[in-house]
């Protein structure tokens, strides 16, 4: 939980990313700030989702996670191909990654709270 709460303090480091990239790859490539920002949003979505996934996995309630993971995998490919062909912009591929993982975060959050409060029934407890 500390990592999740610490994440907002790390966001101000994004403006320093240009300097870090220059030191790291020594000016051999340019990484647009938009890529850094969207990647940070993606990492935040995944980090929050994993916070709930670990607990749900410990409870052994994997059915919804399995459904969502398979769905995200199946949906991502055509959306990524479509975004790539329509825009030729990597930012949209990163946004698609955020988009397909957001439902997993939302469902994990809901399922976690239903189980913790003892109100999970049906598919929420499988």
Q: Which ranges in 1-126 belong to alpha helices (H)?
A: 2-10, 17-25, 33-59, 63-87, 90-116
pLDDT for the residue numbered 17: 79
Residue carrying structure tokens 């976690």: 112
- Comparing 116 with 24, the larger pLDDT belongs to 116
State pTM to two decimals: 0.81
Cα–Cα distance for residue pair 112/34, rounded to 1 Å: 32
Among 123, 105, 114, CA closest to 52: 105
pLDDT for the residue numbered 21: 82
Would you say residue 122 has pLDDT above 70? Answer: yes
**Over residues 22-50, mean pLDDT:** 87
Tokens, residue 110: 């809901």
Phi and psi at residue 83, to the nearest 5°: -60, -40
pLDDT for the residue numbered 3: 54
If one counts every other C-beta atom within 10 angstroms of the C-beta of residue 73, the result is 10
Residue carrying structure tokens 């938009």: 34
Q: What is the mean pLDDT of the chain?
A: 88
pLDDT for the residue numbered 126: 87
Return the percentage of the chain with pLDDT > 70, whole number: 90
Is residue 38 within 8 Å of 91, Cβ to Cβ?
yes
């Amino acid at each position: 939980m500390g990592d999740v709460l610490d994440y907002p303090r790390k966001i101000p480091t994004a403006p320093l990313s240009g300097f870090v990239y220059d030191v790291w790859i020594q000016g051999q490539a340019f990484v647009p700030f938009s890529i850094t920002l969207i990647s940070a949003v993606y990492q935040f979505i995944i980090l929050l989702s994993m916070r709930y996934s670990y607990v749900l996995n410990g409870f052994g309630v994997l059915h919804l996670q399995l459904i969502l993971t398979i769905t995200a995998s199946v949906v991502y490919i055509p959306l990524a191909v479509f975004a790539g062909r329509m825009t030729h912009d990597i930012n949209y591929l990163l946004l698609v990654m955020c988009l397909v993982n957001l439902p997993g975060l939302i469902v994990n959050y809901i399922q976690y709270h239903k189980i913790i409060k003892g109100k999970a029934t049906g598919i929420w407890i499988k």
